[in-house]
């Protein structure tokens, strides 16, 4: 028998879950506890995938990666006080990367506010610095509206840029029983409206490009997020322009495309006279757009959705405010009307090609070194040889990420996740978990390779248990040099400890030499490998790639003092003092 509809009661937890479901939220990551456990249970009952993580920070990284990969925000669910504080790292990272994210934080009961309640903390205020929207619904009846508003801010307010949003849910909201009929759910919000650049600015940009002597396109993760791969590729090929991806812009146009000049990055930046930026900010990643890394009179054409970004650090020649995909199509129209292509046999192309050949030869030489322990290049060349073309590459660590990026290729957009704009270490496992889930639901069979430095791995290492619990067939590679940037071998370590206590004598960059990280994976039922030679590496890679059912971890021992190949010191070279290749 069924009670009268008007009498039917529903808990706050269920209302919150239903509001998220109505907004098409697919994934929720978190760590449960008082007062949010019921929300996770209710969400799961409605078919939202709930992934319980071991630390809120990793949960938040995972939720934000879902936002970048799918264009719809993931949810991070955390408990009050410390739980929320742990999540701030993930919110900051998402906001810096311009990725959509929803964080839901339980908080102490309203009746105990300011009394020193359990885990009481000014959560809404705390989140303000790390988000674009932070609020607490005024009453439980207002929750659906607030949730819809968060979604609105993330997906529809792309007039601004995507970012993190916080909703605070006091404990008494979760347990409150309400009449079903008193709750009105909002319809799912519309996809973001598409904005286009001013026609006159588009004409001017096309003319600046046509008149360029040494043009360069820079493709950023904004272009990846905007799904602009098709139009940008068309522009590259139709106009025969050289392009350079930023770290996460890799794959928008495949890395092996003949027009990709990644291997001549410094030279391309330093000598270009016209640079078109597609969703890439002129921050530290691009050396602020300033000399000596660029020509003092280089003409920047900026394409971005965010008006405030235009003119940041440089005075651009042309600004194209709008959605990257739409604006690129506008540019293509110009080049369709009056066809033009950059001469493929120009001096600029020859310079770039020569430089690429030199640089590629230098890394190949390092990679072919037979000495043991292996260096970074040897490791990455072997990994690259076996990587499936369609895999997700997650990477973090200092040298591991920087060198890995130059060797490991991306062929598809939104398939590389790394420390990003904020340079955050510890993101890798959360990102890998998110990518594995998205792959499972949208592209079954696609692999996730997570290339970690040993130090970077340590930040979220316990998420290996999460990976095993959900049986996600992620391949974790730990490029182990026993330290941060560099480390020491066991003999030097023992020598150091002979004369000193480790707490006074061990260099701060040191981690314990020869740590068997693969045993962490084995502890939870995954497969662990400890490798020291190229042959062992090749074999373990082959085995992990063949086994699509299980997570695995390959602990790759490398030369503790290995570094990247000598870089050209541009400042010195300019003064005519040095030019090491
Ligand atoms: P990278 O780290 O790859 O250089 P950034 O994160 O610095 O990239 O820059 C990404 C830029 O892309 C941001 O300035 C953001 O405002 C912009 N952006 C994001 N989505 C869109 C879009 N759909 N259209 C245009 N610009 C976008
Ligand atoms: Mg290291």
Which ligand 1 atom is nearest residue 309's CA?
14
- 324 CB within 6 A, ligand 1: yes
User: From the CA of 323, how far away is ligand 1's center (Å)?
Assistant: 10
> Helix 324-337 vs helix 229-239: angle between axes, to the nearest 10 degrees?
30
Instruction: Tell me, using a 6 A CB cutoff, whether residue 21 lines ligand 1.
Output: no
| Residue nearest (by alpha carbon) to ligand 1 atom 7 | 281
Structure confidence at residue 150 (pLDDT): 57
| Residue in 162, 154, 136 with CA at minimum distance from that of residue 16 | 136
What residues have CB less than 8 Å from 511, skipping those under 6 apart?
A: 454, 455, 458, 482, 483, 484, 487
To test the pocket of ligand 1, the residue of 98, 192, 226, 424 to mutate (highest count of ligand atoms within 8 Å of its CB) is 98
Residues in the chain: 581
Q: Ligand 1: which residue has its CA nearest to atom 19?
A: 222
Q: What is the pLDDT of residues 67-122, one digit of tens each?
A: 999 998 999 999 999 999 999 999 999 999 999 999 999 999 999 999 999 999 99
CA distance 12 to 35: 11
Q: What gap in Å lies between CA 342 and CA 340, rounded to an integer?
A: 7
Residue 263: DSSP 8-state: G
Taking only the tens place, the pLDDT of each residue in 330-341 is: 999 999 999 999
How do strand 552-557 and strand 475-480 relate by DSSP bridges? Answer: parallel
Q: What is the DSSP letter of 260?
A: B
Relative to the CA of 247, which ligand 1 atom is closest? Answer: 3
> So what's the pLDDT on residue 148?
62
pLDDT at 580: 33
Q: Pick the ligand that lies closest to the CA of residue 484.
A: 2
Q: Whose CA is nearest to atom 9 of ligand 1?
A: 280
Ligand 2 centre distance from Cα of residue 525 (Å): 25
Which of 220, 265, 413, when mutated, tests ligand 1's pocket best, judged by the most ligand atoms within 8 Å of its CB? 220
Atom index in ligand 1 nearest the CA of residue 421 equals 2
Distance from the alpha carbon of residue 541 to the mean position of ligand 1, in angstroms:
34
Query: Mutation test of ligand 1: which of 304, 312, 321 has the most ligand atoms closer than 8 Å to its C-beta?
Result: 304
220 lines ligand 1 (CB under 6 A): yes
Rounded CA-CA distance 320/324 in Å is: 9
- Residue 272 to residues 163, 219, 253: CA-CA distances in angstroms? 32, 15, 20
pLDDT at 157: 39
581 with 358: CB under 8 angstroms? yes
Q: Please tell me if the CB atom of residue 226 comes closer than 6 angstroms to any atom of ligand 1.
A: yes
Question: Counting ligands in written order, which one lies closest to the CA of residue 303?
Answer: 1
Minimum CA distance residue for ligand 1 atom 18 = 222
Return the ∠ at Cα 136 (arms to 133 and 141), rounded to 5°: 120
Distance 97 CA to ligand 1 centre (A): 8
Q: What is the 3-state secondary structure (H, E, C) of 400-437?
A: HHHHHHHHCCCCCCCCEEECCCCCCCCCHHHHHHHHHH
How would you write the pLDDT of the chain (581 residues) with one tens digit per residue?
444 556 899 999 999 999 889 888 999 999 999 999 999 999 999 999 999 999 999 999 999 999 999 998 999 999 999 999 999 999 999 999 999 999 999 999 999 999 999 999 999 999 999 998 888 888 877 777 666 665 555 554 344 689 999 989 999 999 989 888 888 887 787 888 899 999 999 999 999 999 999 999 999 999 999 999 999 999 999 999 999 999 999 999 999 999 999 999 999 999 999 999 999 999 999 999 999 999 999 999 999 999 999 999 999 999 999 999 999 999 999 999 999 999 999 999 999 999 999 999 998 999 999 899 999 999 999 999 999 999 999 999 999 999 999 999 999 999 999 999 999 999 999 999 999 999 999 999 999 999 999 999 999 999 999 999 999 999 999 999 999 999 999 998 888 888 778 888 888 999 999 999 999 999 999 999 999 999 999 999 999 999 999 999 999 999 999 877 764 443 334 343 333 32
Position in ligand 1 atom list of the atom nearest CA 245: 3
| Ligand 1 lined by 196 (C-beta under 6 Å) | no
């Amino acid at each position: 028998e069924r009670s009268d509809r008007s009498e039917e009661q529903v808990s706050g937890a269920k209302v919150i879950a239903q509001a998220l479901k109505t907004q098409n939220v697919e994934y929720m990551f978190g760590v449960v506890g008082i007062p949010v456990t019921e929300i996770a249970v209710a969400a799961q009952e409605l078919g939202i995938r709930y992934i319980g993580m071991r630390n809120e920070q990793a949960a938040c990284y995972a939720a934000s990666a879902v936002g970048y990969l799918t264009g719809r925000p993931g949810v991070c669910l955390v408990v009050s006080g410390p739980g929320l504080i742990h999540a701030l790292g993930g919110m900051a990272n998402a906001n810096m990367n311009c990725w959509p994210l929803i964080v839901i934080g339980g908080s102490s009961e309203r009746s105990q506010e300011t009394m020193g309640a359990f885990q009481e903390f000014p959560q809404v205020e705390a989140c303000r610095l790390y988000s674009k929207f932070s609020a607490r619904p005024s009453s439980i009846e207002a929750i659906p509206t607030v949730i819809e508003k968060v979604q609105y801010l993330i997906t529809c307010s792309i007039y601004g840029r995507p970012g993190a949003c916080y909703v605070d849910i006091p404990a008494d909201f979760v347990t409150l029983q309400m009449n079903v009929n008193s709750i009105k759910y909002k319809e799912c919000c519309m996809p973001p409206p598409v904005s286009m650049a001013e026609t006159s600015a588009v004409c001017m940009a096309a003319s600046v490009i046509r008149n360029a002597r040494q043009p360069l396109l820079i493709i950023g993760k904004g272009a990846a997020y905007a799904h602009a791969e098709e139009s940008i590729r068309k522009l590259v090929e139709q106009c025969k322009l050289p392009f350079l991806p930023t770290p996460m812009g890799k794959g928008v146009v495949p890395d092996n495309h003949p027009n990709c000049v990644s291997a001549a990055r410094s030279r391309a930046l330093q000598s270009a006279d016209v640079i078109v930026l597609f969703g890439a900010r002129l921050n530290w990643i691009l050396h602020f757009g300033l000399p000596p890394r660029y020509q003092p009179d280089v003409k920047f054409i900026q394409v971005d959705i965010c008006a405030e970004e235009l003119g940041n650090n440089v005075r651009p020649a042309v600004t194209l405010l709008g959605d990257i995909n739409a604006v690129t199509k506008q540019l293509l129209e110009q080049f369709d009307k009056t066809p033009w292509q950059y001469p493929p046999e120009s001096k600029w192309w020859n310079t770039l090609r020569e430089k690429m050949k030199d640089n590629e030869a230098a890394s190949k030489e390092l990679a072919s070194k037979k000495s043991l322990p292996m260096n970074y290049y040897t490791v990455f060349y072997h990994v690259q040889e076996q990587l499936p073309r369609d895999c997700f590459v997650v990477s973090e660590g200092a040298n591991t990420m920087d060198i890995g990026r130059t060797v490991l290729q991306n062929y598809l957009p939104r398939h590389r996740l790394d420390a990003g704009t904020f340079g955050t270490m510890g993101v890798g496992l959360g990102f890998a978990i998110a990518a594995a889930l998205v792959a499972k639901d949208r592209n079954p069979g696609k692999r996730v390779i997570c290339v970690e430095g040993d130090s970077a791995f340590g930040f979220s290492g316990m998420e290996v248990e999460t990976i095993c619990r959900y049986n996600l067939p992620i391949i974790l590679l730990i490029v182990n040099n026993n330290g941060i940037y560099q480390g020491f071998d066991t003999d030097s370590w023992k020598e150091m400890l002979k004369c000193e206590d480790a707490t006074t004598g061990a260099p701060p960059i040191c981690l314990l030499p020869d740590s068997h990280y693969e045993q962490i994976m084995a502890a939870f039922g995954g497969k662990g490998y400890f490798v020291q030679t190229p042959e062992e590496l090749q074999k373990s890679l082959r085995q992990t790639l063949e086994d699509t059912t299980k997570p695995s971890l390959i602990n790759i021992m490398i030369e503790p003092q290995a570094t990247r190949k000598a870089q050209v010191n541009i400042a010195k070279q300019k003064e005519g003092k040095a030019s090491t290749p």
